[in-house]
A and B are shown apart, each in its own frame.
Chain A
Amino acid sequence: MRRGLATGLLAGLVLGLLVIGTPAGAYHTHFQYGCNDTFYNHDPVTRADARDYAYIAAAEGYQWAGGCWNGNNVDDSPGDPVEDPHTLGEGGDCSGFTFKSWWERAETGDPWFRYHAWMQNVHGPYSAADFKAGVGAANVTVAKASTTYMDAFAASNHIGMIYWANTSFNQDRIIEAKCEACGTGTWPRTYRGNPDYSGVRRLYWAG
């Protein structure tokens, strides 16, 4: 009897672990379960306000098609598979981060400002390619040579905003949601002189 019970127990345990454990192995932090939909329409907004806002996301995570972060200076969902929105990780992707940092509205014909809570899970309607083309009533393309801080450089697959222009080696410090392994942060980049990138501006800053 005992041997039979033990054998069955072992077999059942293995089966239970396999049946439940295999799909569970694909689980993620599900950070976005704690996100919200809090926003406020707001005016006026300056470039400095926008940079202060973007700075909070530095050192947070990157999530493809994501949009919320908690400001604790930690990527709370590191190592998620790329291009999978179902991982529900922390952070925005490059275009979603730009949308929130530029206080844009989801209504593409409305150019005015909206404060998105850090934990608001919103990406916005624009891809990097859209920003590069100046899509949306709030956005225009500009010459890279005439850009200033909190303008952006956009390519077809990536966008980053100018955090501080002209370092001693003549790079720009860019604030961007870079990649899953990189997270979101500020890094010196050479996008300004790279022909893949175009200059983009959010209109109607108050200063």
Chain B
Amino acid sequence: MKKKWRWPLAGFVLGALVGATVLTVNVVGASAPEPVPMRAGGFGEILHTPALLARAHKPVELSYDVVCGALKDAPGSHCAPSGSVFVRPVGASTFVRLPLHEDDGLLSAVVPAAAVSVGFDYYVVMDNGRRRTARLPAAGAEAPQHVWALRDWTTVDVGAARFGRTRTPSAVVGGISWGRGDAAVGLDSGREQSRIGPSAFDVAPDGSVVLLDQVNHRLTALRGGRTVHVPIEFSGGEGDLAVGADGTVYVLDAATRPMVRAFTPAGSSIAATPLAEKTADMIRVGPSGPLVHSYPSEMWLPTGAGRPPFVPGRQLASAQPFRSVADGDGVVVRASPSEVKLALVHGDRVVRAWLLHGESSFGEVQLAEPYGDGMLAVVRLWDEHHAEFRVLRLGPEGLLESFDVTPAEWAESGSLSRFRLRGNALYQLRSGPSGVEIAKFQIGGTT
């Protein structure tokens, strides 16, 4: 070997060894199994569907279940929860305790008709039998759940489902294929997992349709045939989106620790805050800023329009059982497979209420928005093999207009994020094997 190569070769071998050693140490260190931290025996979770709207002068049964936090990773029996509901009729200053009794596997208490006739606030305090207690709603008496007394309502028979007889949209916005490029929207699919498309959309004040393309971590604005993408921070798999009157885009990032993020129309981050509860499905813009419908309380949590946004404690303390809309009114929804109750409320007073029934099973209420002197609602009708959405324009005297819309839900979106109402136009997020589109339906006319 020539002498002049000796030192470079020695350096080369030494360098290779150093590089390989450093990387190997780091990789092995990062890959080594961690000690297994076991979850401390937390409370678990209180499960409850709020009553919200009840016929006056009839008792109301409040029912709860409890999911128990684990004590250890081994077979064991369900915990033995117990608790009480605290009830305060409208006009009263103090809460009255009603012990919960086991009834058909649930813990229940019956609120007497006298309290129901005026409406009442309530919250529950639960002990899981393992020396852990919890309240629902979490702020207890400070921000309780509420039941409005229905004395007068408009009954609407929506009839039977008419699967396949759906209205053609008056216009279609978008028409974007699946993918990651500039002319595409993200699809997260594979074996043994959900097929997830854009979670949500909204219509901005300038008429743009803004899509939450969370799969590609971006917002997509559609206007006049142009598609504009803006990258955003997003950590979960799904979420929701609402655009404020000033163009601010509020995004619910429904990750395992949900976040609410605010962006300018250009996509610059304004603020972000963790949500007080660990599950949420909707974000909407109320008169004072964004509101998030969260679980297990099923309350609407304000997260604040400004910077800094509300911290979790303030969200819980100012939670409301209704969704605030204009003029101090609120929208309240309570649905079951056999009946849908919708109400516009003002404080403790019911301004107007509708009870929907029909021959088909009701699914979820996708949309309920004040419209004129009534409400526009979109509900799912379904049987074991079919589904459709029925659009209902409700007036003070009853049904003014209805038509059916095909679900077009090939890819999953946020569960209650498929429709938005702007002015006299109803927009629907649709998906199919080739991509997504936004269908537009003009509201007005006859049934």
Chain A interface residues (CB < 8 Å from chain B): 1-2, 4-17, 19-21, 24, 27-31, 33-34, 40, 42, 46, 48-49, 51-53, 55-56, 58-59, 62, 64-65, 70-73, 75-76, 82-83, 93-96, 115, 117-119, 127-128, 143-145, 149, 157-158, 163-164, 166-171, 173, 176-183, 185-190, 192-195, 198, 207
Q: Which residues of A lie under 8 Å from residue B361 when comparing CB positions?
A: 145, 193
Q: Which residues of B lie under 8 Å from residue A4 when comparing CB positions?
A: 4-8, 11
Q: Say yes or no: A76-B34 contact (C-beta < 8 A), given A13-B18, A16-B16.
A: yes
Instruction: Give complex CA distance A58, B77 in Å.
Output: 19
Dominant SS at the A interface?
A: mixed
CB pair A64 B298 closer than 8 Å: no
Q: Say yes or no: A55-B193 contact (C-beta < 8 A), given A15-B12, A183-B256, A207-B105.
A: no
Partner of A190, one of B67, B254, B380: B380
Q: Which residues of B lie under 8 Å from residue A82 when comparing CB positions?
A: 188, 190, 193
CB pair A15 B75 closer than 8 Å: no
Q: Which residues of A lie under 8 Å from residue B100 when comparing CB positions?
A: none
Partner of B16, one of A13, A24, A171, A178: A13
CB pair A5 B10 closer than 8 Å: yes
Nearest neighbor of A192 in chain B, beta-carbon distance: B363
Q: Say yes or no: A27-B30 contact (C-beta < 8 A), given A56-B70, A164-B65, A193-B387.
A: yes
Partner of B11, one of A5, A21, A30, A76: A5
CB pair B19 A190 closer than 8 Å: no
Answer whether residue B13 sits at the interface, using C-beta atoms and an 8 A cutoff: yes
Per-residue A-contact encoding for B224-240, CB less than 8 Å = 1, 0 else: 00000000000111100
CB pair B38 A71 closer than 8 Å: yes
CB pair A170 B362 closer than 8 Å: yes
Instruction: Give complex CA distance A49, B80 in Å.
Output: 12
CB pair B30 A29 closer than 8 Å: yes
Q: Which residues of B lie under 8 Å from residue A42 when comparing CB positions?
A: 75
CB pair A181 B237 closer than 8 Å: yes
CB pair A145 B337 closer than 8 Å: yes
Nearest neighbor of A177 in chain B, beta-carbon distance: B193
**Nearest 7 CB-CB pairs, A to B?**
A16-B19, A12-B15, A8-B11, A182-B237, A193-B363, A34-B33, A8-B8
Smallest beta-carbon distance A176→chain B, Å: 8
- What count of chain B residues pass the 8 Å CB interface test? 95
Chain B interface residues (CB < 8 Å from chain A): 4-20, 23-24, 26-27, 30-39, 44-45, 47, 49-50, 52, 65, 67-70, 73-79, 105, 188-196, 215, 235-238, 254-257, 278-279, 281, 295-296, 298, 333-337, 340, 361-365, 380, 382, 384-387, 407, 409, 415-416
Identify 9 new A-B residue pairs, CB closer than 8 A, beyond the known A16-B19, A33-B33, A82-B193.
Answer: A7-B8, A12-B19, A13-B19, A16-B20, A52-B67, A56-B73, A71-B39, A181-B188, A181-B235
Nearest neighbor of B78 in chain A, beta-carbon distance: A48
Q: Which residues of A lie under 8 Å from residue B79 when comparing CB positions?
A: 52
CB pair A168 B77 closer than 8 Å: no
Most buried by B among A70, A95, A96: A70
CB pair A183 B190 closer than 8 Å: no
Most buried by B among A12, A71, A164, A171: A12
Q: Which residues of A lie under 8 Å from residue B19 when comparing CB positions?
A: 12-17, 20-21
Give 19 CB contacts A-B under 8 Å: A4-B5, A4-B6, A5-B11, A8-B14, A10-B11, A11-B12, A13-B16, A20-B20, A20-B23, A30-B32, A56-B39, A72-B38, A76-B34, A157-B192, A157-B193, A169-B281, A176-B194, A193-B363, A194-B387
